[in-house]
A = this chain, B = another copy of it.
Amino acid sequence: MNAFDALMEFQRRTEALAQIAGRLGWDQETVMPRGAAAQRGEEMAAIEAVLHARRSDPRIGEWLETAEPPDAAGAAQLREVRRAWERANKVPADLASRIAQVTSEAQGKWARARAEEDFPAFRPVLEEVVTLKREEGAALAQGGDIYDALLQDYEPGMTGAAVAGLFDAMRPRLVALRAEILARPEPAGLSGQFDEQAQMRLARRLARAFGYDMNRGRLDKAVHPFSSGSGADVRITTRTDPADPFNCIYSTIHETGHAAYEQNVDPSLALTPLGQGASMGVHESQSRIYENQLGRSRAFTGWLFGQMREAFGNIGPRDADAFHAAVNRVRKGYIRTEADEVQYNLHIFLRFDLERALMAGDLEVADLETAWNDRFRTDFGYEVDRPSNGCLQDVHWSVGLFGYFPTYALGNVYAGCLHDALRRAVPDLDDQLAAGDLSGATGWLRENLQRFGKLYEPRETIEKACGMAPYEAPLLDYLEGKFGALYGL
């Protein structure tokens, strides 16, 4: 067997084992008996050790030296393997192991500190995490920018400077839009109680409508909605709240975007290094366009309004316009995960600037809470009332995720560009959406983006689908147009 084939066979087995580890994660969040947690910890550690050994197997380096790709896809396979291999070899084993140990400890301390509204209790361990991640970034950067190096784990090819340029261009318009909207009267929300089984039935219907293949997946409940798995076994979860059906509906559509992307990767790439979404940002573009540009559009919510009245009877809004306003209501709030389309990106910009400064050494953990609260006041216009509504709200930094936050907003920017291109490609999109027919939209995304998996680099993936490089204007124009109409600006 030649080196390329040997490497591909080796990787295929690694990918299969990684799928198993992912399935264990699904099991843990959905069906695992409560009393099995400690044993599951050992099981997860065992399979992670197997994966680690395979990913740092020196044969990979040998194969990479002589492997000849048979075609362009083969070259892309090698690119992905080489990226992971070089990354693994740049970070000293003892540093990787210290990061694993400290972040595991930090996550517990973060949860307690958040519950007790006590940032100082979290500060020492966060300082350790930041120090270790700076070290890791320096090892990866080899003289280059630390934050850029960390960003490659989530958005290969992107730089901190490029992200900053993009976000700085967006921020003034979003701050202004937000302020204008919040000066207007707030639209009414829904009223009533929403049977949770009926919510799950509707969630299943919506997942199918957005192209999710239940024959290669399933929908269950979990505390935090997620999508898990690749290829022929991609499972999603959602949650229900009897007072707020939008939580279930839009979590489901969001996770369907992630899951449909994984399901729609070309089957020939399954269980290969290219057999998944291109990056975190491109992944998020799919979940966001499903959820927002499609799922929260006037045309689609018109259809959804009928579905909801069928499922739940009188739900409050007198007509589809009022329902559309309720779906897209913009309200004050501290929490990123609860934010609407307008405010969401502002939450990200704040985190991006702070974490980039932390990695550059321009901000110390000791000053993080003040920096957060100052920036929040500047962009949102009011004071953070407690740490759990401020710099303790997200788990990310405690587990060492630096460079991850910007991918959420990049996903929104990409979704804006894709939405423009989709509108050009499917001129009668609104007619389709108004009939609850998502197939034109999801079919276009599948053909022009999803099926390629990691075949192209993230930016190239977006460019191929949109016919141009991603930039911020389509998203901003869309938001100003949509919310301008909704709020009469």
Chain A residues with a Cβ under 8 A of chain B: 12-13, 16-17, 19-20, 23-24, 27, 31-40, 42-43, 45-47, 49-50, 213-218, 231-233, 235, 270-271
Contacts and interface: CB of A to CB of B under 8 A. Distances in A.
Given A46-B13, A50-B17, A35 B271 contact: no
A12 B49 CA distance: 13
B218 A35 contact: no
A43 to B, nearest CB: 5
A91 to B, nearest CB: 23
B20 A24 contact: yes
Given A23-B24, A34-B215, A39-B270, 7 more contacts: A16-B39, A20-B46, A31-B218, A33-B233, A35-B232, A38-B232, A42-B271
6 contacts: A16-B42, A20-B20, A20-B46, A36-B216, A36-B233, A39-B231
Contacts of A34: 215
A481 to B, nearest CB: 40
A38 to B, nearest CB: 7
A43 B27 contact: no
Nearest to A51: B50
A271 B45 CA distance: 13
A70 to B, nearest CB: 22
Given A39-B232, A216-B36, A45 B16 contact: yes
A211 to B, nearest CB: 14
A35 B233 CA distance: 8
B33 A216 contact: yes
A17 to B, nearest CB: 5
Shortest 7 CB-CB distances between A and B: which pairs? A36-B233, A16-B46, A35-B216, A35-B215, A39-B232, A36-B232, A16-B43
A320 to B, nearest CB: 35
A118 to B, nearest CB: 31
A23 B36 CA distance: 12
Contact of A50 (B37, B50, B231): B50
A16 B42 CA distance: 7
A49 to B, nearest CB: 7
Nearest to A218: B33
Contacts of A40: 232-233
A233 B31 contact: no
Nearest to A14: B46
A374 B235 CA distance: 52
Contacts of A35: 213, 215-216, 232-233
Contacts of A50: 17, 50
Interface centre among A13, A24, A31, A33 (most CB of B within 10 A): A33
Contacts of A13: 46, 49
A98 B45 CA distance: 32
A208 to B, nearest CB: 13
Nearest to A235: B33
A32 B214 CA distance: 11
Given A33-B217, A217-B33, A20 B47 contact: yes
Nearest to A215: B35
A38 B215 CA distance: 13
Nearest to A216: B35
Contacts of A46: 13, 16-17, 20
A455 to B, nearest CB: 20
Nearest to A40: B233
A459 B33 CA distance: 33
A47 B233 CA distance: 17
A220 to B, nearest CB: 8
A348 to B, nearest CB: 34
A13 to B, nearest CB: 5
Contacts of A233: 32-33, 35-36, 39-40
Contacts of A16: 39, 42-43, 45-47
Contacts of A20: 20, 24, 43, 46-47
Given A24-B23, A36-B233, A50-B50, A12 B42 contact: yes
Nearest to A46: B16
A19 to B, nearest CB: 5
A16 B38 CA distance: 12
Nearest to A37: B232
Contact of A215 (B31, B33, B45, B217): B33
A40 B36 CA distance: 23
Nearest to A230: B39
Contacts of A24: 20, 23
A29 to B, nearest CB: 13
